Amino acid sequence: MTARVRMSISLLAAVLLAGCDRNGGHAARFDGEYQGQSVGGVADRGARLIGQYGCGACHTVPGIRRARGRVGPPLNFFAERSFIAGQLPNTPETLVRWIMDPPGLIPATGMPRLDVSERDARDITAYLYTLH
């Protein structure tokens, strides 16, 4: 095997591994758009915030340690869902609003308002859209 082939294989392996995280293989980075709409958040920060806000007390969230809740639905494959909470269209702006004030959008929801700032909601949104 030539040095050029070895270098090409090493480069390819590095590129492939860079797209995976250590928590289940989904991409930790997010390009900032979901279905052509800007999210404006940072997925890596969103992952940390999910832990800080205690989302895992109610939800199972892939890639988030100790997020094994069984009260709310599991959030795996979130990026592939058509609806938020089974009722709202899954768009970045709707998800940001939902994370900030769930009862404001669906009064009968069991999901509480946690006083999540808009910036934090955008970061959490970015992370949820990495879940394929």
Residue 70 in domain: yes
CATH code of the domain covering residue 89 = 2.60.40.420
**Domain coverage including residue 118:** 23-128
Alpha helix stretches (DSSP H) within the chain: 3-18, 43-52, 92-100, 102-105, 118-128
Of 89, 79, 81, 82, whose CA–CA distance to 129 is shortest? Answer: 79
Q: Which of 56, 77, 72, 74 is nearest to 109 (CA)?
A: 72
Q: How many domains does the chain fold into?
A: 1
Task: Considering only the C-alpha atoms of the chain, give the largest distance between any 2 of them, rounded to a whole number of Å.
Answer: 65
Encode pLDDT of 58-114 as tens digits: 999 999 988 899 999 999 999 999 999 999 999 999 999 999 999 999 999 999 999
96 occurs within a structural domain: yes
What predicted TM-score, i.e. pTM, was given to this entire model?
Answer: 0.74
Quote the pLDDT of residue 1.
60
User: Has residue 16 been placed in a domain?
Assistant: no
DSSP string for residues in 70-85: SSSPP-TTGGG-SEET
Whether residue 59 lies inside any domain: the answer is yes
Note whether residue 46 is domain-resident: yes
